[in-house]
Amino acid sequence: MSTDRKVAVITGASQGIGAALADAYLERNYRVVAVSRSIQPSNNPDVLTIAGDIGDPATGRRAIDEALARFGRVDTLVNNAGIFVAVPFTQYTADQYAQVLSTNVNGFFFITQAAIEAMEKQGSGHVVSITTTLVDHPTAKVPSVLASLSKGGVAAASKSLAIEYATRGIRVNAVSPGIIKTPLHPVDTHEFLSALHPVGRMGDIEDVVGAVLYLENAPFVTGETLHVDGGQIAGF
């Protein structure tokens, strides 16, 4: 198989934002490696699916190794797999803590390590991770300590990696959404969630996809956290 086409590895690609990102990269002539626990094999020869828990260090390594074996390169990694558990601080269970940290932090760390290793050999690459504006703009209406602990770590680590690899052709960015209409949010919560944004609505999946694609095509942008949150970051 030729290796002239770019390759994007996208975690959490079975539904929601990740599935839309996979489609968007395919439309832009990328080959796509789609990772999630429940993802099914694809008939599309430009798509390789990797079924696994992203919190397991072996899953990230396997995704990158198989991307290289099948498509010969890794140009972009989108760390999109993530979970959100909104519980008052003292009520988080040890299991919830372990699950959130495993998915959001291990799930960022190990696949990014494998991807950057490959990108460094190529001399180019882009890592973009999906965080949340709750990190910078918590609200009393949504308890979110575990989101801040885990996604806040990812946001900070993205800046650190951007600096560590700035001279080696690898950019590292983050997209920080407000609340986006995905299967994560039952329809009967939409009115309440819309009111948490200065613009008075939830975001759409395409708003996040557009931000990732902007960063993809912005060679002078690294270490950036791009907020896609209907103005939440400006204050409310």
User: Which residue, 222 or 232, has its beta carbon nearer to ligand NAP?
Assistant: 232
The whole-angstrom separation of Cα 93 and Cα 146 is 11
- Measured in whole angstroms, the distance separating CA 109 from the mean position of its chain's CA atoms is 12
- For ligand NAP, the binding residues in 43-62 under the rule CB under 6 A are 53-55
Span near ligand NAP by CB under 6 A; candidates 80-88, 117-125, 165-173, 214-222: 80-88
Pull the structure tokens for residue 133.
Answer: 């504006």
Site for ligand NAP (CB under 6 A): which residue of 26, 47, 83, 221? 83
The DSSP secondary-structure symbol of 19 reads H
- For ligand NAP, the binding residues in 158-177 under the rule CB under 6 A are 177
The whole-angstrom separation of Cα 216 and Cα 201 is 26
Binding status of residue 80 toward ligand NAP by CB under 6 A:
yes
Phi and psi dihedrals of 74, rounded to 5?
-135, 110
In the complex, the smallest distance separating the C-beta of residue 154 from ligand NAP, rounded to whole angstroms, is 9
Binding status of residue 17 toward ligand NAP by CB under 6 A:
yes
In the complex, the smallest distance separating the C-beta of residue 64 from ligand NAP, rounded to whole angstroms, is 15
The DSSP secondary-structure symbol of 153 reads H
- For ligand NAP, the binding residues in 113-142 under the rule CB under 6 A are 130, 132
User: Which residue, 118 or 209, has its beta carbon nearer to ligand NAP?
Assistant: 209
User: Which residue, 58 or 163, has its beta carbon nearer to ligand NAP?
Assistant: 58
Three-class secondary structure of residue 50 per DSSP? strand
Going through 12-86 in order, the beta strands assigned E by DSSP cover 31-36, 47-51, 76-79
Phi and psi dihedrals of 190, rounded to 5?
-65, -35
- Residues in contact with ligand NAP by CB under 6 A are 11-18, 36-39, 53-55, 80-84, 103, 130, 132, 177, 179-180, 182-184
